[in-house]
Amino acid sequence: MKKITKRSTKEEVLAAYEALVHEKGTAPADVPTEDMNDGKEENITSSKKSVVGTKTTDTAAHDLIAAMREMSERMNRLFDVFVDAVESEARRVHDEEDAFEALLAKRRAEREREEEEKAYTYSIEHKRKTDELARSLEEKKHNFEQSIEERERAIKAREAVVKDAESELADVRKRVENAPKDLEKAVEAATAEARRAAQQEAKVTADLIKKDADREREVARLRIEQLEAALKKADDLTRSFEQAAADAHKKMQELATTVIEGQRPVIVPPARQDIVQK
C-alpha cells in the first residue's frame, strides 16, 4: 500500500483509504467518504447561492469568502484528521503485517527447527536401529557360523571316531587273521632278541672274562713266579729229602740185613719212619 502524507491529493488519500478498507473489510463511520464529500460540496454550493440571494454583492462576497475560508479550514482540519487516521491505520496495518511476518518467520523457523530436530532425531533413531539391527544380524551370523563350525567339527570328530573304529576293526581282523604268523614272528623276534641279548651278554661277559683273564694271567704269572720259586725250594728240599731217603734206605737195608742176620727186632726212630712213609 502507498504511504499517505499530508502532501497527498484527495484522490490518493481516498484511494489509499478504500484499499485499506477493502483489505480490512470494514469502514469506520467517522471517516468521510467520496459521497460525504459530494454532499459537502452541494451544501457549499447551496450556501453560496443563499448568501448571494439575501445579501448585497459586497456583503455576500465577504461572507462567501469568510464561509469558504472557514469551510476550507474545516476541510483542512478534517483532511489532516483523515490523513492522521489513515497514517495511523496504515502504521497499525504495517505493524500487524510486520508482526504477522515476524510470527510467520518465527513459526517457519520453529517449524524448520522442529523438522530439523525431527530429521536429526529420526536419523539418530534410524542409525541406532540400523546399528542395532546390524549388530543383531552380525551376532546371529556369528552364532550361526559358530554353530555350523561346531557341527562340522562334531561331524569331523564322529567321522574320525568312525574311521578310527573302522581302522581298529580292520587291524583287529588283520591281527586275528595274522595271529599265527604274528605269533611265529613274535617267537622268532623274541628268539632273535634273546639270542642278541645273549650274544651281547656273552660279549660283555667275554670282555669281563678277558679283563679278568688278563688280571688272572698277571696274577698267575706272579703266582707262577712264586710257585717256581717254591718249586725250586721244593726241588732243593726234595733233593735233600731224596738224598736223605737214599741215605735212610741204605741204612734200612743195612739194618734189615742186620736184623735178618741177627733175628732181632729193630726200633725205627719216628723221624725216620715219616721219611720212609713219604
- Predicted confidence (pLDDT) per residue in 60-97, tens digit: 667 777 777 787 787 888 878 888 888 888 888 888 88
Residues 122 and 15 in one domain: yes
Give dist(CA 179, CA 172) in Å, integer: 10
The answer to whether residue 136 is domain-embedded is: no
Distance of CA 107 to the CA centre of its chain: 50
Residues 30 and 106 in one domain: yes
Of 128, 146, 166, which closes a domain? 128
Give pLDDT, residue 144. 85
Identify the DSSP state of 27: -
The answer to whether residue 162 is domain-embedded is: no
- Predicted confidence (pLDDT) per residue in 246-272, tens digit: 776 677 677 666 666 655 554 545 544
Does pTM top 0.95 for this prediction? no
CB atoms within 10 A of CB 248: 18
Residues 191 and 123 in one domain: no
The answer to whether residue 190 is domain-embedded is: yes
The answer to whether residue 146 is domain-embedded is: no
Lookup result for grid cell 651281547 = 200
Asked whether 27 and 33 are in contact (CB, 8 A), the reply is yes
Domain count of the chain? 2
Give dist(CA 153, CA 161) in Å, integer: 12
Which of helix, strand or coil describes residue 268? coil
Buried b (16+ CB within 10 A) or exposed e, 162-189: eeeeeeeeeeeeeeeeeeeeeeeeeeee
Residues 26 and 98 in one domain: yes
The range of the structural domain enclosing residue 50 comes to 10-128
